[in-house]
Chains A and B, each alone.
Chain A
Amino acid sequence: DAKTTQPPSMDCAEGRAANLPCNHSTISGNEYVYWYRQIHSQGPQYIIHGLKNNETNEMASLIITEDRKSSTLILPHATLRDTAVYYCIVLNDYKLSFGAGTTVTVRA
């Protein structure tokens, strides 16, 4: 399984963009990068995924480097409700392997 590395925590000011990095240097050519988040004790929530190209949806943007060894999740205007643990996952055999994500705290 391709491993991912994320910073354990980060703070962000409300209304500012939050940039969450993820390293996945052993990713294979056909493996997707997925981002999920979990707000305290709730079910994980799908955010976005990508293969090669940058992706954007109503929640976030995903920037994947050309060599695909790292990616950045961008929350364009963080709100207090975005406080959560964010997981970067390389999908392998359809199951999600949650590693140690990034605890993002949005401060007023």
Chain B
Amino acid sequence: AAGVIQSPRHLIKEKRETATLKCYPIPRHDTVYWYQQGPGQDPQFLISFYEKMQSDKGSIPDRFSAQQFSDYHSELNMSSLELGDSALYFCASSPNTGTGSYEQYFGPGTRLTVT
């Protein structure tokens, strides 16, 4: 079965640079979520999109922005990178089942290292 695709899988950037992470959801999934997991920490919700509109926002820094495109893929843009942005970034997608339950399926993550 098709899974969530994230690219790149690994990314090394220097401080103050920008980075763009991409996420391709499972086909026919219309909702995308982004999570950040720092070293030794649990995943933290950043932002989500439903039908190309931002649906919820968590602890996402103002230096980060994201969007969902017409083909439902999503990009997380990160500017003025800081050492503390080094983390695993997961994308998840879910279908709109209309039943009130929403399983999220996660991608393999992008490991961002800021030096």
Contact = CB atoms under 8 A, between A and B. Distances in A.
Interface string A35-46: 000100111111
Interface residues on B, range: 20 to 34
Interface of A: 30, 32, 34, 38, 41-46, 49, 51, 87, 91, 93-101
Given A44-B43, A98-B42, A91 B102 contact: yes
Contact of B56 (A41, A43, A94): A94
A64 to B, nearest CB: 14
Interface of B: 4, 31, 33, 35, 42-45, 48, 55-56, 58, 88, 90, 92, 94, 100-109
From DSSP, what is the main secondary structure of chain A's interface residues? loop
B33 to A, nearest CB: 7
Nearest to B102: A94
Given A44-B92, A96-B45, 18 more contacts: A41-B88, A42-B108, A43-B4, A43-B90, A43-B106, A43-B108, A43-B109, A46-B105, A49-B101, A51-B101, A87-B42, A93-B56, A94-B48, A95-B45, A96-B33, A97-B45, A98-B35, A98-B42
Contacts of B56: 93-95
Nearest to A100: B42
